[in-house]
Amino acid sequence: MDGKAEPMASHGARGRSGGRPTLEEVAARAGVGRGTVSRVINGSPRVSDATRAAVEAAVAELGYVPNTAARALAANRTDAIALVVPEPETRFFAEPYFSDMLKGVGAELSETEMQLLLIFAGSDRERRRLAQYLAAHRVDGVLLVSVHADDPLPDLLSQLDIPAVISGPRSAGETLPSVDSDNYGGARQAVEHLLSRGRRRVAHITGRLDVYGAQRRIDGYRDALSDAGHGVDEALIEQGDFSEEGGSRAMAALLERRPDLDAVFAASDVTAAGARQALREAGRRIPDDVALVGYDDSAIARHLDPPLTSVRQPIEEMGRRMIDLLLTEVADRRPLASRGLDRRQVVLATELVPRSSS
């Protein structure tokens, strides 16, 4: 060997030992110490530009691939993130919200070396098993999607000192980092749109009321009516649960109680699909007799007949922002209890997408 190896950029490159290139061989090629190479690979700022360039050139020439497992062990890291859904699997696969969220999370995480674990915790047994798994610190952080007000998981994560980000706060006083859409503003957009089309008896099928986002949508609905000079008729509000079956049941109850209603704002597109079915079974034409607006602007909205007017929330972007926040939390070595003032609550804008249903 003449001291100058052929450049090798593939993962199959061989070092002097005949195996994979080692950290020591990179250090020798760059003319620096092993610790300096480690700092460059781990992104430490305590390295000069010239030294960084020399190490990066040596890495490229030798085709060195860092041993991520060893690095994670040394840093007391697992290089794994858990996406926890405290709902039954059936709901996860039935509602586009979850798949869109997963798509955004996966896209952002693909730019890192982190692995993503999808964990369902919709039953007491699954929650106990999850608690044991988390207590063993097998993940670096957790994304919580579809969190209810009484969910014990966020408090468990805080007790275990595991960084977490949730998709929507549990209340106005949320202490965990969260990413959400403007539920209040989106609901106002929906109701103002219906009022602008001459509708006057606007009903609302809510989501689960132990979800803060559903509460904010009711607030937006009420305020839009009040600000337009219309009273809020409680008989026009019926509780749903974000499901198609819940939307159908709620719509039937509304029609029985207020058969003169002329518009419906549903808390999700899936709920709107159920409401549409109940309206058709009752002989009501959409939008001639009853205008209908959903929420999410999912594929369901585009494929309904007639196509559904819906409030678009940027679900994939919410997933990406959740990952950004979580990786920042994971990189922060301070105990969670000391980070209270740094916690961030991200709220993304919504947009009404008018279609034929209204």
Query: CA-CA distance, 277 to 213, in Å (whole number)?
Result: 25
Query: CA-CA distance, 9 to 30, in Å (whole number)?
Result: 16
Pseudo-torsion of CA 116, 118, 124, 129, nearest 10°?
Answer: -50
Q: What is the pLDDT of residues 327-346, one digit of tens each?
A: 888 887 666 666 654 568 89
Give Cβ neighbours of residue 150 (< 8 Å, ≥ 6 apart).
210
Q: Which helix (H) or strand (E) holds 262?
A: none
**14-28, 36-50, 95-109, 272-286 — which is least confidently predicted?**
14-28
Residue 146 has pLDDT above 90, yes or no: no
187 vs 77, more confident: 187
Residue 12 has pLDDT above 50, yes or no: no
Residues of the chain with CATH 1.10.260.40: 23-68
pLDDT of residue 281: 97
Amino acid at 27: A
Summary mean pLDDT of the chain: 86
Output Rg (C-alpha) for the chain, integer angstroms: 26
Q: How buried is residue 12: exposed, middle or buried, by Cβ count under 10 Å (0-12/13-18/19+)?
A: exposed
pTM: 0.75
Cβ–Cβ under 8 Å, residues 166 and 318 = no
Average pLDDT over residues 150-160: 85
pLDDT of residue 10: 36
The correct answer on CATH 3.40.50.2300 for the domain covering 183-312 is yes
> Do β-strands 291-296 and 345-348 pair in parallel, antiparallel, or remain unpaired?
unpaired
Query: CA-CA distance, 116 to 102, in Å (whole number)?
Result: 10
At the top level of CATH, the class of 80-181+317-347 is alpha beta
122 vs 301, more confident: 301
User: What is each CA distance from 217 to 181, 183, 224, 229, 239, in whole angstroms?
Assistant: 11, 5, 11, 19, 12
Confidence label for 347 from pLDDT (cuts 50, 70 and 90): very high
Residue in the block written with tokens 């798994």 = 133
Q: Which helix (H) or strand (E) holds 60?
A: helix 49-62
Q: What is the pLDDT of residues 64-113, one digit of tens each?
A: 776 654 555 445 567 889 999 988 888 888 888 888 999 999 988 887 77
Residue 14 has pLDDT above 60, yes or no: no
Give Cβ neighbours of residue 108 (< 8 Å, ≥ 6 apart).
319, 320, 323, 324
CATH of domain 23-68: 1.10.260.40
pLDDT of residue 322: 94
Residues of the chain with CATH 3.40.50.2300: 80-181+317-347, 183-312
Q: Does the bond joining 88 to the residue before it have cis omega, within 30 degrees of 0?
A: no
**37-51, 95-109, 186-200 — which is least confidently predicted?**
37-51
Closest by CA position to 244, among listed 346, 95, 32, 130? 95
User: What is each CA distance from 249 to 21, 166, 194, 205, 245, in whole angstroms?
Assistant: 64, 30, 22, 10, 6
Residue 11 has pLDDT above 60, yes or no: no
Residue 17 has pLDDT above 60, yes or no: no
Taken as a whole, the chain contains a residue count of 358
* CA dihedral sign of residues 210, 212, 213, 215: positive
Confidence label for 4 from pLDDT (cuts 50, 70 and 90): very low
φ/ψ of 289, rounded to 5, equals -90, -45
56: its two tokens: 């990066």
